[in-house]
Amino acid sequence: QTNPEIVDKVIKIAREQFGVQDDLEVTAQSTFVDDIGADDLAIREFVLALEEAFGIEIEDKKVESISTVGQAAEVIEELLK
């Protein structure tokens, strides 16, 4: 189970980075492309924001495997160990 605090922080950053409307719910299951409507550039900027917020570096190979908010939180938690 991923730390809920990490998930909440990732959701908050996703809302800010992707300009998600207030009435759109963002959860750990939300996908960046289908649910949030993000493109590749927006996802790259989101990853940079995550790296800055958590003080980590996410490898490009890992970035390609992330398609949901929850997966991003899992990768971050792993890197923080």
| Predicted model pTM | 0.92
Residue 27 CA to residue 24 CA, distance in Å, equals: 10
Which domains, and CATH codes, for the chain?
Answer: 4-80 (1.10.1200.10)
Place of tokens 């492309």: 33
pLDDT 10s digits, 5-44: 999 999 999 999 999 988 999 999 999 999 999 999 999 9
Most distant CA atoms of the chain, gap in Å: 34
pLDDT score of 1: 85
Question: pLDDT above 90 covers what percent of the chain?
Answer: 95
pLDDT value at 76 more than 90 = yes
| Spatial distance between the Cα atoms of 43 and 35, rounded to a whole number of angstroms | 13
Q: How high is the pLDDT of residue 16?
A: 95
Contact between 70 and 8 (Cβ < 8 Å)? no
